[in-house]
Amino acid sequence: MGPDLLTSASATEREQDPEAAVGLSAWTPPDQQQAEPHAHAEEILRQVEYYFSHESLPGDSHLLGFTGRDGTKPVNLSMILNFKKMKQYRPKAAVREVLKSSSLVEVVDKNHIKRRYPLNTPLLVVPKVDEARARREIMLAANPHLTKNMLKPTGFEPDTTESSLTDAERSLYDPSFDFIDRIQTAVKYFASKRKMHQDLLQIFEKFLFFGGFITNAQTSQSGMSKEELKKQEGLTEAQVKELLEYYSVSDAVVTAISSCYEDQSKCAEFVVDFEGVAKGFLSSEFMASFDYYDEKIVKKGTQVLRSFYNYLLLHRVCPEYDEQLRAAYSICDVAETELNKLAVADKCLPGAFNAACSTLFKGSYVGLHRDAFSAGPDDEDGGWIMQGDNIGLSLKDARMIFSAGIAAYGTDEQYEKAETLLKDDVEHVECVTHEGIGLEIISIEQPDKKAVELYERLNSTETDSYQIACIQPMGRLVCKRWDVPIAAPTDLPEHAKAKASCVETSAFLIEQEVLPFCFEGIKIDCTVKQLDCGIKWIDTIDSLFPSFYTWLPNESVCGKGAWKEPGPPKEWMLRQTQRSGKTNNGAVVPAQEDAQGVDAAG
């Protein structure tokens, strides 16, 4: 029987000496145990107090940079122990115990000490402040969950400068080398020279996958060295090099680009297009995978791409594509501006007027209205509507907003028709068109003077403050049709398609406060409805896209979801099929076994 792991005294010792029975309750953690008195306590105390004294500290620019001008900010004890005259005094715990008896220096915690009282003499030197350290300390104070390691430069900062190329590095990107080899080498070196925090790594890898790269995760985790792979696996130098590349270009891309280089007429699905990939990634994959509502995430995403393009340009990795790289770099600047606006527009659109039309004329907002003030305990939605929340529009508010919009922008004929509709039962009004289409904003019209004056008059006649808040001046988004790249084909006959394409523009009323977040070029995948009097509105919005939106088949072809044509069935598949009594086409077949009881197919 082994010794008791919870105590160090044997049973016999415990019986003979009760004081030897030391249990867990008496155990003291190492950092709380009393350190032995230091043999050089007086020298330690005298030296440290001198560093923080009126005689020394006002003239010590380095230490003042940590203590501050009044000399009372905490200083790391390890730094003090690294001073030339203090290196001989160890261990740290014993030095800390000595300083607890000081009348000048105070022990803040196990790692920091500070001067007890502010300096009362003028400084003789200017404190030497480490600005980078000061920024890190401010960041840590605001974000205590961060570690110092996370605050170190990553290499993705906007002011990061690339080091000049050595002759060895320059030889890696010889223009005579194949483009695939150069770009794979560049990705490896780029990643190795940057500190990849988890958020940065996710963006970078998503970008690489979208651009046609894959990861050799299984081989990279094998742990075998280059020499071991050669000896044990019998691989050649070229095979080992390919195997150890963590990021590599997809075989499908390699084949397509190689054939394109050999014969331009064979260029099919894959071509080198840095600008196109930047547009496609930032306008689709990035928006779908990351929270583009967060300005910080957008800034990180665009900066990762900028940093990569800058690396390729400065290191002359592929000078034949420099023009594309500069264009791709510019797309990052556009994306940072547009995605931040798009995030706000996505929350605000389709706006109050369009929601009012939808509420009145059998659109998606019908029956949606709930508010926290009217929801009672028996209301089935009362459990999730929070105090102050308002969902949808009431019929009263919808009528008011609709009437104001038509009065400001409708024709006389439309205004008369609208008045008739509102007086009658709007539930019986039928829409003449209901179409899922794509729109592209080509211009933005602010409310004119006449419209502003009309809204001011309307608001002055209302007494309900909530109603007044609803009636906002409106401008117009002038849009043209846009073919949604991934939309399902329509069943319209050719003459109807031709007629639809002849419609050049449409205008939609949008509240003035939303217009600053809209911009020319926004693509809208939406549903539009229209009454027989020509009043048209956006009923629902499925997606918003930036002006540079580009649809690429990269994710479906290169990504994890890539479709692969199934090969011939494996043996276990055939055995399982026979056990189930079905063939591949669903016909029932008898299960057959040989004399040994194993499926015949096996």
Instruction: Render pLDDT for 25-53 as a digit per residue (tens, 0 to 9).
Output: 444 444 455 556 778 899 999 999 999 99
Question: 254, 269 in Cβ contact below 8 A?
Answer: no
Sign of CA dihedral 438, 443, 446, 451: negative
Residue 24: DSSP 8-state:
G
Average pLDDT of the residues of the chain? 74
Percent of the chain with pLDDT over 90: 28
Tell me what pLDDT residue 451 has: 81
How is residue 539 written in tokens? 């009923």
Lowest mean pLDDT among 205-209, 383-387, 404-408: 383-387
Tell me what pLDDT residue 320 has: 93
Q: What residues contact residue 533 under an 8 Å CB cut-off, 6+ apart?
A: 413, 414, 417, 418
How is residue 31 written in tokens? 């950092």
Q: What residues contact residue 512 under an 8 Å CB cut-off, 6+ apart?
A: 446, 447, 472, 473, 474, 475
- The larger pLDDT score, comparing residue 589 to residue 145, is at 145
Q: How many beta carbons lie within 10 A of that of residue 311, not counting itself?
A: 20
Lowest mean pLDDT among 126-130, 189-193, 235-239, 337-341: 235-239
Res. 385: pLDDT tops 70:
no
β-bridge partners, 438: 525
Res. 384: pLDDT tops 60:
no
Percent of the chain with pLDDT over 70: 61
pLDDT confidence band for 546 (50 / 70 / 90): very high
Res. 140: pLDDT tops 60:
no
Res. 520: pLDDT tops 60:
yes
Determine the average pLDDT of the residues in 328-334. Answer: 95
Amino acid at 189: Y
Tell me what pLDDT residue 212 has: 84
- The Cα 362–Cα 357 span in angstroms is 8
Q: How many beta carbons lie within 10 A of that of residue 486, not counting itself?
A: 9
Tens digits of residue pLDDT in 389-433: 446 788 888 888 888 888 888 888 887 877 777 776 655 566 778
Question: 223, 243 in Cβ contact below 8 A?
Answer: no
- The Cα 175–Cα 308 span in angstroms is 19
Tell me the angle at which helices 237-244 and 226-233 cross, rounded to the nearest 10 degrees.
Answer: 130
- The Cα 269–Cα 553 span in angstroms is 9
Lowest mean pLDDT among 327-341, 424-438, 512-526: 424-438
Res. 499: pLDDT tops 50:
no
- The larger pLDDT score, comparing residue 505 to residue 479, is at 479
Question: 277, 211 in Cβ contact below 8 A?
Answer: yes
Q: Where are the beta strands (DSSP E) in 43-190?
A: 75-76, 105-107, 112-115
- The Cα 49–Cα 116 span in angstroms is 11
How is residue 432 written in tokens? 């003449």
Query: Percent helix, strand and coil across the chain, each rounded to 5?
Result: 45, 10, 40
Res. 216: pLDDT tops 80:
no
What is the distance of C-alpha 520 from the center of its chain? 25
Res. 591: pLDDT tops 60:
no
Q: What residues contact residue 449 under an 8 Å CB cut-off, 6+ apart?
A: none
How is residue 568 written in tokens? 């011939």
Q: Which residue has the tokens 């350190």?
A: 35
Res. 288: pLDDT tops 50:
yes
Distances (CA, A) of 23 to 6, 19, 108, 563: 7, 10, 31, 63
C-alpha torsion 344→347→353→359, nearest 10: 180
DSSP string computed for 501-564: HH---EEEEEETTTGGG--TT-EEEEEEEE-TTS-EEEEEEEEEE-TT----THHHHHSTT---
- The larger pLDDT score, comparing residue 458 to residue 222, is at 458
Backbone angles phi, psi at 50, to 5 degrees: -65, -45
Determine the average pLDDT of the residues in 67-73. Answer: 89
Res. 255: pLDDT tops 50:
yes
Q: Where are the beta strands (DSSP E) in 296-411?
A: 370-371, 390-391
Determine the average pLDDT of the residues in 311-316. Answer: 89
Res. 90: pLDDT tops 70:
yes
The answer to whether the pTM exceeds 0.75 is: no
Tell me what pLDDT residue 533 has: 81
Res. 597: pLDDT tops 90:
no
Tell me what pLDDT residue 15 has: 43
Lowest mean pLDDT among 491-495, 518-522, 562-566: 562-566
